[in-house]
Amino acid sequence: MREPFQSPAPLIYVQGHLQGGPRRFAAIAVAYVAIAGFAMAVARRLTSSRLTWADIADGALKTVAISQGFILILVGSNMIYRALFRDFQSRMIESHRLSPMSNTSVVTGYLFGGPLQALLLFGLNVLLGYALGLIAQAPAKSWFGGNALLLTGAVMIWSLTIFWGVGVGKPVSPVGPLIGLGFSAQLLFVFVPGMALLFGVYGSSLAVWVMLGQGSPGPAAIALVAATNLVFALFWLNAACARYRRPDLPAINALRGTVLLLMWLAASTVGIRAYQQVAQTRAFANVLPDVPEALIHWLVSLGASMLLAFIPLRNAVILRNIARQGTRLRDWSDRFPPLAMLVILVPVLICGVSALLGVDVWRPMIDEYTWSLPETTFNQAALRAWSATFLACLFACVTMTALSILERRRRSPALWMTILILMLIWMFPPAFDAGRAALQRTSGTWLAGASPFGTIKIAWSSSDRTALIPGLIAQGAVAALLLLLSGLGNRAAASPVAAAPHA
């Protein structure tokens, strides 16, 4: 066990020295301010008859606001990647593991030492933007609030970059995925608001909008998004410390995976409500497309929650097998919660947290259902929908756990094979039923509910729920069969005959 915390100052100093030191930083600052002043002087000279200094300052302020996101997110993340890649090539990161430096000091050293130049340019832009705002008579509160929000989002993205870079493998550049997220930010926010909040897309976009003065959701909403970014950043930093300490073990163990699932559930339900509020504001009316029904967001949220649960379940199986082989784990968090408890805990959390935080989202769906069927009360409809959702999640967790146990029994475990089998089990029945119904122009059968996704869709969106019970029985049968196979394999592996060496 390493020391809980040490000062990251030595590693930050080394990273700053590798980037050129104070002299280079000072030269960059002087050159940056000189270029900005020269550009404004040229703009004033060329447009002196049409634009005032206030107009030029307003245009420059918008340019600086957009560049802040580019500097912090793209440039800062790339600088952290370069620092990790440099230490990976020189095997310096392995030397750090053998040194007395604590995990936290190394990770925070990369966090604040890697993007030093980006932080310098960010600070210069904050001061430059404040000066431009005085000339353009722009509110300073929006400028500083937007920059603070953007910084929290950048720290979260930097933490995720460090998490992916401190393993045993070669670090992967985050620039490509970040550019992809930037281009798909609007689409992501429309259909998966929780993912937009989880990966900082919503917070970063909101920060730029606030800096541009295009609208603000209010101090409370900005503080909530900033706090969310910091919570996610702390989670990824903690996971990075665990991965740095023991890169041979899964960092997202059962405990961290459960926390990640909780954060996703909270982000998803809050993201749905945030989208519905933001999309209705005048500032975003011409930017975002029409608001889709909350049902789409709700179904995507529940389905993604089940898929996300595969991470802690599979890693819990891996860590249990490693512990049984006599290999020492990190600490108690690699053993808690136990696998059997986790299988039951996951559907309880998915249904419980979604029901509590998303009550404003799912209540109208139940009201609409009871309106179409007057003989059904609200409590009956809600109980039916949540019971079907819970059973679908439970059977899905049992299926994923059993397949993970069977996968780890192979001499060369293949994650892609497990995912392929899951997709066949879950996607083929509803897809086959939908294709058959379209060709024969008939209604669907029980196959539509023979998948967790199909069950959730029927439970929340269809008045014809005759396929629920047969579909759940089919899911339970598949889960029980796979669990039986995994249990038989465990007993066979533990028997003296199976354990005897080959002649």
Q: Do 352 and 223 sit in the same domain of this protein?
A: no
User: What is the 3-state secondary structure of 320-381?
Assistant: HHHHHCCCCCCCHHHCCCCHHHHHHHHHHHHHHHHHHHCHHHHHHHHHHHHHHCCCCCHHHH
pLDDT at 282: 46
- 90 exposed, middle or buried (CB, 10 Å; 0-12, 13-18, 19+)? exposed
Q: How far is CA 316 from the centre of its chain?
A: 20
Give the domain-ending residue among 209, 226, 248: 248
Place of tokens 């996971």: 239
From CA 315, how far away is CA 261, in angstroms rounded? 14
Q: Say if 398 falls within a structural domain.
A: yes
Q: Do 360 and 214 sit in the same domain of this protein?
A: no
Instruction: Return the DSSP state at 99.
Output: S
Give the domain-ending residue among 229, 248, 267: 248
pLDDT at 489: 52
> In the structure, how many helices (H) and strands (E) does the chain have?
23, 0
Domain ranges, residue 408: 308-494
From CA 396, how far away is CA 472, in angstroms rounded? 11
Contacts 24+ apart (CB under 8 A), 280-287: 281/215, 281/217, 282/215, 283/209, 283/214, 283/215, 284/215, 287/186
Q: Say if 269 falls within a structural domain.
A: no
Q: Do 227 and 320 sit in the same domain of this protein?
A: no
pTM of full prediction above 0.75: yes
Angle between helices 219-245 and 201-212 (to 10 degrees): 140
**pLDDT tens, per residue, the chain with 503 residues:** 445 568 888 888 888 888 877 888 888 888 888 888 888 788 777 776 677 878 888 888 888 999 999 999 999 999 999 999 999 998 888 888 888 888 999 999 999 999 999 999 999 999 999 998 998 888 888 899 999 999 999 999 999 999 999 987 888 888 888 888 777 777 777 778 888 788 887 788 889 888 887 766 778 878 888 999 999 999 999 999 999 989 999 999 999 999 999 999 999 988 888 777 766 654 454 555 554 568 888 999 999 999 999 999 999 999 999 999 999 999 899 999 999 999 999 999 999 999 999 998 899 888 877 776 667 788 888 999 999 999 999 999 999 999 999 998 876 778 888 999 999 999 988 888 888 888 887 777 888 889 999 999 889 986 667 778 999 999 999 999 999 998 865 554 444 433 333 33
- Which CA distances in Å does 338 have to 250, 311, 317, 334? 16, 15, 10, 9
Whether 80 contacts 114, CB under 8 Å: yes
* Domain count of the fold of the chain: 2
- 422 exposed, middle or buried (CB, 10 Å; 0-12, 13-18, 19+)? middle
Whether 371 contacts 283, CB under 8 Å: no
E strands within 208-361? none
Give the domain-ending residue among 212, 233, 248: 248
pLDDT at 15: 87
Q: Say if 273 falls within a structural domain.
A: no
Token pair for 285:
């009316």
Q: Say if 501 falls within a structural domain.
A: no
Half-sphere exposure at residue 98, Cβ-oriented, CA atoms within 13 angstroms:
5
